[in-house]
Structure 1
Amino acid sequence: MVTTIWAGGRLRGPDEPVLTAVDHGLTVGDGVFETCAVVDGRAFALTRHLARLQASARGLGLPPLPLDEVREGVDAVLAAAGSDAGRLRITVTGGPGPMGSGRFAPAEQRPTVVVVAAPASGLRTSRAVRVPWVRNERSPLAGLKTTSYGENVVALGRATAAGADEALLADTRGRLSEGTGSNVFVETGGELLTPSLETGCLAGITRALVLEWSAQAGLPVREAAPDELPWAVLDEVVAGRAGLALTGSIRNVTPVVELDGTPVAAGELSQQVRALVEARMADDLDP
């Protein structure tokens, strides 16, 4: 896999060190990131991704992001990667810090910016499993896209071991929340519903575009009320009485065709929405 790396103001070799051993992103996961699809050499929906990156940084208590540096890195890696780039990751950490969870004084903080471009292989359908762990909707990190991803690594490992590509999580109140790296949509009663942000799920960029573009197209797609999608709705999917789809920046919209090892049908509305998103993406790379 060809990977292009930018850090510290210049392009780096794949084996070249870019972080100090005391970078707070490395020692305590004190950082935020965004992953964008790359379409025709450009980062898709970059404006939205940078806005969410800023929001995550504020929520984590990081200093204002050096957006000029971020954009410089984005331009550099996309130019260097050329047609090999299919995905772009922007990571900003708290920079060098103490060995514990505390940070240096604001005047001493020096954020680390790393931008990476790499190929991507998109999925057309997904296979998912339910896992026994929950998303804590009351966590201070709920709704933030941070580098503290250990819970997702463990949950996705469970899914991969079961032959799936995504793990689904409830929140602490027994409501459907999200996947480890995706938002969830349930096709039921002639509608396509996604869990409320109150469940602690991430406000996904693709999730937002699905809601906006579907409304403009007159499709029955909406955010559910906070308690409208209980965890048990996945039993309806397994029984064939409901459908399921996942959304994300690289997967776009992928209907789920297997849940917990049981084949399930891709919903007609989910497939309509996938076609809509693909068409709209082709029309506007920074919606």
Structure 2
Amino acid sequence: MASVLWAGGRLRDPREPVVAGTDPGVATGLGLFETCAVVRGRAFALTRHLARLAASLDALGLPAVDGAEVRAAVAEVLGASGPEVGRLRITVTPGAPGADARPVLVVSAAPAPVRGPAHVVRSPWVRNERSPLAGHKSTSYAADVLALAAATRAGGNEALLANTRGALCEGTTSNVLVERGGALLTPALSSGCLPGVTRALVLDWAADAGLPVREAGAEELPWSVVEDAREGSAGLALTGSLRGVVGVEAVEGEPTRVGPLTAEVARLFRARSDDDLDP
């Protein structure tokens, strides 16, 4: 079985409809999701993902879901999954309006996407850091899908976004790191980027190891830093639940070098995450 789906308290055929057309998650895109890597049959960093989901539900004024129910659904889905499964998705929507409305929880698992070396393309669109959805994994995801599709047509496999202030923000499916001057910098959350689980672990684990990895200060990562990377005076890396930590090997068709600190942090992340699947 290539994919597994759970909804409404039980496993279902992945082709079976599970959300009402009147659910705001369908009608307006008002919903949230989390994506975890599946490693040795377990969802990596599940506790952190569920904490972010709970915080986002609260921030957007959506009804909470029972954490124990989510964990039980995850266990059932992964128990029914085969070795080819590498990605778990947890989706929560408000449910169809009515007196007995309750949130809809859908958990699914499928193979992880196959990606080549990280090749980024600058998007002409921007992330609105003032949006109420900034920093949340919203199911209102069409803008990211379109940006990634445009990057794919241009030969890349990730699109990078500036914010409305002209600063580097994030990728459509990743956080970003910049290596220069012997340090790795990542945009601060005030840029509008997602508070990525992998990003947070990189910051924590690098600090434990005494490596110079930190959030950037104001004005430290202007959008022009992507051109610096393209020209070879800076390096880029991507972080994400399914990517882990990967150095960018091309910017808009121009080969780029993965910096030594990026390579060291990637090794550190692999080692630490292999030791603890729920850090």
- Cross-structure match for 2:14: 14
Q: Distance in 2 between matches of 1:214 and 1:123?
A: 25
What SS is found at the alignment partner of 2:176? strand
Instruction: Tell me which amino acid in the other structure corresponds to 1:152.
Output: D
Q: Distance in 2 between matches of 1:279 and 1:68?
A: 29
Instruction: Report the alpha carbon displacement of residue 194 of structure 1 after superposing the two structures with TM.
Output: 0.2
Instruction: Report the alpha carbon displacement of residue 263 of structure 1 after superposing the two structures with TM.
Output: 1.1
The structure 2 residue matched to 1:280, chosen from 249, 267, 272, is 272
Q: Distance in 2 between matches of 1:2 and 1:214?
A: 36
Contact 2:152 2:158 in 1 (8 A): yes
Instruction: Tell me which amino acid in the other structure corresponds to 1:141.
Output: L
The answer to whether structure 1 residue 63 and structure 2 residue 63 are counterparts is: yes
CA deviation string 1:116-167 (max 9, x = no partner)? 0111146473000001111111111111111010110110011111111100
Contact 2:115 2:157 in 1 (8 A): no
**TM alignment of 1:43-54, pairs within 5 A:** 43-54=43-54
The answer to whether structure 1 residue 74 and structure 2 residue 74 are counterparts is: yes
Structure 1 stretch 261-270 or stretch 32-41: which is displaced more? 261-270
What SS is found at the alignment partner of 1:83? coil
- Cross-structure match for 2:157: 165
User: May I ask how many residue pairs the two structures share in their alignment?
Assistant: 279
- Cross-structure match for 1:227: 219
Identity of aligned residues (%): 60
- Cross-structure match for 2:24: 24
Contact 2:73 2:107 in 1 (8 A): yes
Contact 1:186 1:194 in 2 (8 A): yes
The answer for unaligned runs of 5 or more in structure 2 is none
Contact 1:156 1:167 in 2 (8 A): yes
Structure 1 stretch 277-286 or stretch 17-26: which is displaced more? 17-26
Instruction: Report the alpha carbon displacement of residue 109 of structure 1 after superposing the two structures with TM.
Output: 2.8
Structure 1 stretch 65-74 or stretch 159-168: which is displaced more? 65-74
- Cross-structure match for 1:101: none
Q: Distance in 1 between matches of 2:116 and 2:52?
A: 26
* TM-score after normalising by structure 2: 0.97
- Cross-structure match for 2:2: 2
Q: Distance in 1 between matches of 2:225 and 2:190?
A: 17
Contact 1:195 1:226 in 2 (8 A): no
The answer to whether structure 1 residue 85 and structure 2 residue 85 are counterparts is: yes
Instruction: Tell me which amino acid in the other structure corresponds to 2:65.
Output: L
Contact 1:198 1:226 in 2 (8 A): no
What SS is found at the alignment partner of 1:84? coil
What SS is found at the alignment partner of 1:5? strand
Q: Distance in 1 between matches of 2:244 and 2:259?
A: 16
The structure 2 residue matched to 1:187, chosen from 159, 179, 190, is 179
* TM-score after normalising by structure 1: 0.94
- Root-mean-square deviation (CA, aligned residues, Å) is 1.3
Contact 1:243 1:264 in 2 (8 A): yes
- Cross-structure match for 1:34: 34
Contact 2:2 2:82 in 1 (8 A): no
Instruction: Report the alpha carbon displacement of residue 84 of structure 1 after superposing the two structures with TM.
Output: 2.6
Q: Distance in 2 between matches of 1:131 and 1:251?
A: 20
Q: Distance in 1 between matches of 2:218 and 2:118?
A: 25
Instruction: Report the alpha carbon displacement of residue 108 of structure 1 after superposing the two structures with TM.
Output: 4.0
Contact 1:122 1:251 in 2 (8 A): no
The answer for unaligned runs of 5 or more in structure 1 is 98-103
Contact 1:59 1:141 in 2 (8 A): no
Q: Distance in 2 between matches of 1:207 and 1:229?
A: 16
Change (3 A) 1:158 1:124: closer
